[in-house]
Amino acid sequence: MTARFSELVCEHASSSSRLDLVDRDHGDGDIQQRTIFPIVACDGNGMPLAADVMQRALRTPFQAGIAGVPDRVFHVGQPVAVGNHSAVRVCLGAPAIAGVGERTRAGQGFDAAFAPLAADVADLFAKWSYVASLPFQPG
Contact 126, 72 (CB under 8 A): no
- Percent of the chain beyond pLDDT 90? 49
pLDDT of residue 90: 94
Q: Collect all residues with Cβ–Cβ distance below 8 Å to 41 and sequence separation of at least 6.
A: 18, 19, 20, 48, 49, 51, 54, 88, 128, 131, 132
Report the pLDDT averaged over residues 91-104: 95
Q: In what order do the strands lie in the sheet with 85-91?
A: 19-21, 36-41, 85-91, 77-82
SS3 121: helix
Average pLDDT score over residue span 105-126: 96
pLDDT over 70 at 28, yes or no: no
What's this model's pTM, rounded to 2 decimal places?
A: 0.88
Polymer length of the chain: 139
| DSSP summary character for residue 15 | T
Residue 37 β-bridge partners: 90
